[in-house]
């Protein structure tokens, strides 16, 4: 059963006027293991939602199901008004949902610039026929894209590394590249799977700023994270999961007093206080 | 004429290698069916152009089409076969599973061709495509072989231009992103199977073209001409030249075929041990490939990140004015949208 906090407790900006993502009664089992059970929550445009819970709570499974990397057993996932449960990940990505993974997955033997250009998702230019017949036109369009990509790289202080292979970057720079790729993709919904993993505090602050900027641009963001101070600082709403179920949702401050949340998760880490 | 023959064969295999590199170098799929595509291209070119068989020889079709048209039709046949094999193998199979499936496919093709004689006359194979057009062109035998060498090189150059254009295009970059990380590629909207499938069909078409040229080069074709192991030499050539770099692939084929395989034929053997030369040649070829992989695994020409499009537009390779990881010194809480003064110094504007 889900403990939902009274809505008057939520900050005004946290209320999704029109939910961009609506997850309803989502379930998924792996053999006898019920990874996700009757999961329901929604995310609105411009909202940052934290998805927290102990290891094995089902957070990453939810992310996989929403982004098309898994097939739900039952339930509904509506993104931008369309049912996407069971769709291929590339189809969902083309609709405007971009996700990251727990470890940065850069295209390591491509340059930093090419990583960003690929993220801009100009699919029509990747036609085999057009590549052969309209090479000059594509090259001119690429030049325009390159300027935009350079500005994004500059914003994330990666511009000096544009020509380097992405695999040569440090761990922190790979995280920044991940955010540069998201910025280039201009998605409606961003799912960040543990963006603070292995990140130093200074870089963490910049990642927090980037998340805030995405929301300020009107994008919805879901953050799966164990770093609770980060969640508290960046998220309008928090969804807490345990043993595959959503056990509570609401603003972070309200969850501190929720006994189920304290028992399942928050009690395990009070270091931020 | 020995060297004309050697260089012609290398030219034909370079076209095959460019096709294989699209599959393995660009997409990362270790395909072992590829020599089968060359073989089918050869067989089909024969049966479409050498006329009806006379008993006891048996083979299908037996038309008398002009050789260039035969090669085109043969190539389409190869693409159809690749469409079937690719649809099965590329959908969900990766790495060793993909390799084993394609190996199984080529062995099945091999056994069918060898044992079902009405197809291409079994182990006897097909023959009779001796210097097509030589009389019309009024060329001597040697003159014809030199002209044919020229034709092979023109086609190789045209193939290189086509492959290079694709390699430097967003299409080539997209294929490499799929090779590097399929999950990330699909998370950014790339339909992985369809991307690989298109490259696979183009690669197979190049193998079919190489097969048609090989038919003219070799004049007769039977199962002994295309054991699947032959493909490993092509893989070695791609490795030596530079996987993913079309120029490197061509250089690799010539280095391996002429430098490793042909030049080592001239190794001397003592009169008492005539088998020494050939045996030592095999050892030397293996040793050269191992040394190459040990000391220059990226090959003679490394794949260029940015696939040339980057270089063409002049990506400015700036020396960072801030040390890498300078975010440590940037101070907490600085908005990512606000570049630091130091970053401004290093900007490309």
Residues of chain A neighbouring B170 (CB-CB closer than 8 A): 117, 122, 125-126, 131, 138, 142
Which element (helix H / strand E) includes A115? helix A112-119
Question: Which B residues 197-256 touch A at CB under 8 Å?
Answer: 198, 202
Structural domains in chain A plus CATH codes: 3-106+186-268 (3.40.50.300), 111-168 (no CATH)
Dist. CA B181–CA B165, nearest whole Å: 23
Interface test with A, best of B305, B322, B326 (most A CBs within 10 A): B305
- DSSP line for B172-203: HHHHHHHHH-HHHHHHTT--HHHHHHHHHHHH
Residue B153 sits at the vertex; the CA angle it makes with B151 and B159, to the nearest 5 degrees, is 105
For residue B250, being part of any structural domain is answered with: no
Question: Which B residues 284-303 touch A at CB under 8 Å?
Answer: 303
Interface test with B, best of A125, A128, A200 (most B CBs within 10 A): A128
Residues of chain A neighbouring B322 (CB-CB closer than 8 A): 157, 160
Range of the domain at B79: 2-227
Say yes or no for a CB contact (<8 Å) between B187 and A89: yes
Dist. CA A206–CA B326, nearest whole Å: 13
Domains identified in chain B, total number: 1
Say yes or no for a CB contact (<8 Å) between B180 and A107: yes
pLDDT of B191 > 70? The answer is: yes
Q: Quick one: pLDDT at residue B199?
A: 97
Say yes or no for a CB contact (<8 Å) between A154 and B190: no
Residues of chain A neighbouring B28 (CB-CB closer than 8 A): none
Distance from CA of B331 to the nearest CA of A (A): 6
Compare B288 and A104 and report the one with higher pLDDT: A104
For residue A268, name the pLDDT band (cuts at 50, 70, 90): low
A42-46, A198-202, A210-214, range with the lowest pLDDT: A198-202
For residue B38, being part of any structural domain is answered with: yes
Say yes or no for a CB contact (<8 Å) between B170 and A122: yes
Buried b (16+ CB within 10 A) or exposed e, A127-158: bbebbeeeeeebbeebeebbeebbebbbbbbb
pLDDT of A195 > 50? The answer is: yes
For residue B349, name the pLDDT band (cuts at 50, 70, 90): very low
Q: Is B158 on the interface with A (CB under 8 A)?
A: no
Distances (CA, A) of B178 to A4, A84, A88, B204, B266: 42, 23, 15, 19, 44
For residue B133, being part of any structural domain is answered with: yes
**Residue range B11-31: mean pLDDT, rounded:** 96
**Residue range B129-149: mean pLDDT, rounded:** 92
pLDDT of B312 > 60? The answer is: no
Strand A189-193 relative to strand A97-99: parallel, antiparallel, unpaired? parallel
The string of pLDDT tens digits covering residues A86-130 is 999 999 999 999 999 999 999 999 999 999 999 998 898 999 999
Say yes or no for a CB contact (<8 Å) between B320 and A161: yes
Dist. CA B17–CA B12, nearest whole Å: 9
For residue B348, name the pLDDT band (cuts at 50, 70, 90): very low
Say yes or no for a CB contact (<8 Å) between B348 and A155: no
Q: Is B161 on the interface with A (CB under 8 A)?
A: no
Say yes or no for a CB contact (<8 Å) between A209 and B333: yes
**Residue range A245-255: mean pLDDT, rounded:** 89
For residue B260, being part of any structural domain is answered with: no
Residue B347 has its nearest CB partner, among A107, A159, A201, at: A159
| % of chain A with per-residue pLDDT over 70 | 90
Say yes or no for a CB contact (<8 Å) between B347 and A105: no
**Residue range A196-224: mean pLDDT, rounded:** 92
Residue carrying structure tokens 């020995």: B2
Q: Quick one: pLDDT at residue B314?
A: 35
A91-105, B34-48, B230-244, B322-336, range with the lowest pLDDT: B322-336
**Residue range B136-144: mean pLDDT, rounded:** 92
pLDDT of B276 > 90? The answer is: no
**Residue range B34-42: mean pLDDT, rounded:** 94
Select from A142, A147, A169, A178 the least CA-distant residue to B306. A142
What is the 3 state secondary structure string of A194-246? CCCCCCCHHHHHHHHHHHHHHHHCCCEEEEECCCHHHHHHHCCEEEEEECCEE
Select from A243, A245, A121 the least CA-distant residue to B186. A121
For residue B284, being part of any structural domain is answered with: no
Distances (CA, A) of A155 to B132, B244, B344: 63, 32, 10
Yes or no: say if A170 and B325 are a contact pair by the CB < 8 Å rule: yes
The string of pLDDT tens digits covering residues B254-275 is 998 888 777 777 777 777 887 8
**E-only strand ranges, A18-139:** 19-30, 33-44, 48-52, 74-79, 82-83, 97-99
Q: Quick one: pLDDT at residue B305?
A: 60
ipTM of the complex as predicted = 0.90
Select from B310, B331, B13, B309 the least CA-distant residue to B156. B13
| % of chain B with per-residue pLDDT over 70 | 87
pLDDT of B104 > 70? The answer is: yes
Q: Quick one: pLDDT at residue A164?
A: 93
**Residue range B207-220: mean pLDDT, rounded:** 95
A72-76, A79-83, B65-69, B261-265, range with the lowest pLDDT: B261-265
Q: Is B340 on the interface with A (CB under 8 A)?
A: yes
Dist. CA A223–CA A226, nearest whole Å: 10
For residue B189, being part of any structural domain is answered with: yes
Q: Is B7 on the interface with A (CB under 8 A)?
A: no
For residue B220, being part of any structural domain is answered with: yes
pLDDT of A148 > 60? The answer is: yes
| A and B: number of Cβ contacts within 8 A | 190
Say yes or no for a CB contact (<8 Å) between A154 and B343: yes
For residue A2, name the pLDDT band (cuts at 50, 70, 90): very low
Distances (CA, A) of B145 to B8, B11, B219: 9, 13, 12
Say yes or no for a CB contact (<8 Å) between B185 and A114: no
For residue B115, being part of any structural domain is answered with: yes
Residue carrying structure tokens 């291409």: B120
Distance from CA of B237 to the nearest CA of A (A): 21
**Residue range B65-72: mean pLDDT, rounded:** 96
pLDDT of B18 > 60? The answer is: yes
Angle of helix B2-21 relative to helix B34-49, nearest 10 degrees?
120
Q: Which 3 state secondary structure label does DSSP give A99?
A: strand
Per DSSP, A73 falls in state S
B16 HSE (CA, 13 A, CB side): 34
């Amino acid at each position: 059963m889900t403990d939902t906090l009274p809505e008057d407790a939520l900050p005004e900006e946290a209320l999704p006027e029109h939910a961009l993502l609506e997850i309803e009664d989502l379930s998924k089992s792996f053999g006898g293991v019920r990874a996700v059970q009757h999961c329901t929550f929604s995310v609105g445009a411009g909202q940052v939602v934290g998805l927290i819970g102990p290891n094995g709570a089902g957070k990453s499974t939810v992310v996989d199901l929403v982004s098309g990397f898994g097939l739900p057993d039952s339930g509904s996932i509506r993104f931008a008004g369309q049912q996407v449960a069971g769709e291929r990940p590339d189809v969902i990505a083309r609709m405007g949902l971009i996700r990251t993974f727990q470890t940065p997955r850069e295209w390591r033997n491509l340059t930093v610039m090419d990583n960003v250009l690929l993220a801009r998702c100009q699919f029509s230019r990747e036609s085999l026929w057009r590549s052969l017949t309209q090479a000059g036109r594509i090259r001119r369009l690429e030049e325009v894209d390159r300027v935009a990509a350079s500005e994004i790289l500059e914003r994330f202080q990666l511009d000096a590394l544009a020509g380097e292979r992405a695999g040569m970057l440090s761990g922190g720079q790979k995280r920044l590249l991940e955010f540069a790729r998201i910025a280039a993709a201009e998605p409606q919904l961003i799912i960040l799977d543990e963006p603070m993993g292995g990140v130093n505090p200074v870089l963490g602050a910049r990642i927090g700023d980037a998340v805030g900027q995405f929301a300020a641009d009107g994008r919805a963001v879901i953050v799966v994270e164990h770093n609770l101070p980060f969640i508290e600082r960046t998220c309008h709403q928090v969804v807490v999961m345990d043993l595959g179920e959503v056990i509570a949702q609401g603003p972070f401050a309200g969850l501190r007093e929720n006994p189920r949340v304290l028992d399942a998760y928050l009690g395990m880490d009070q270091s931020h206080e | 004429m020995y060297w004309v023959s050697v260089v012609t064969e290398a030219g034909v295999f370079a076209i095959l290698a460019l096709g294989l590199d699209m599959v393995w170098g660009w997409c990362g799929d270790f395909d072992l069916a590829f020599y089968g595509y060359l073989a089918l291209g050869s067989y089909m070119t024969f049966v479409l152009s050498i006329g009806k068989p006379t008993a006891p020889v048996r083979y299908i079709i037996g038309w008398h089409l002009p050789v260039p048209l035969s090669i085109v039709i043969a190539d389409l046949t190869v693409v159809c076969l690749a469409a079937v094999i690719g649809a099965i193998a590329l959908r969900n199979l990766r790495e060793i599973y993909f390799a084993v499936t394609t190996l199984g496919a080529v062995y099945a093709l091999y056994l069918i061709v060898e044992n079902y004689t009405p197809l291409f006359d079994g182990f006897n194979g097909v023959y009779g495509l001796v210097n097509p057009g030589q009389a019309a062109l009024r060329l001597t035998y040697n003159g014809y072989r030199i002209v044919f060498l020229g034709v092979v090189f023109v086609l190789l150059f045209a193939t290189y231009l086509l492959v290079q254009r694709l390699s430097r295009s967003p299409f080539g970059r997209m294929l490499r992103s799929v090779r590097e990380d399929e999950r990330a590629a699909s998370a950014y909207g790339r339909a992985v199977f369809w991307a690989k499938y298109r490259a696979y069909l183009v690669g197979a078409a190049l193998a079919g073209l190489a097969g048609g040229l090989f038919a003219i080069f070799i004049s007769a074709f039977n199962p002994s001409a295309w054991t699947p192991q032959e493909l490993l030499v092509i893989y070695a050539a791609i490795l030596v030249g530079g996987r993913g770099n079309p120029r490197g692939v061509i250089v690799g084929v010539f280095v391996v075929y002429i430098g490793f395989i042909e030049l080592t034929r001239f190794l001397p053997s003592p009169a008492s041990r005539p088998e020494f030369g050939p045996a030592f040649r095999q050892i030397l070829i293996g040793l050269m490939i191992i040394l190459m992989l040990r000391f220059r695994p990226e090959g003679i020409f490394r794949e260029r990140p940015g696939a040339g499009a980057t270089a063409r537009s002049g990506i400015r390779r700036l020396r960072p004015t801030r040390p890498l990881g300078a975010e440590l010194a940037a101070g907490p809480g600085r908005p990512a949208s606000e570049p630091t003064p130091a970053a401004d110094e290093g900007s490309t504007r």
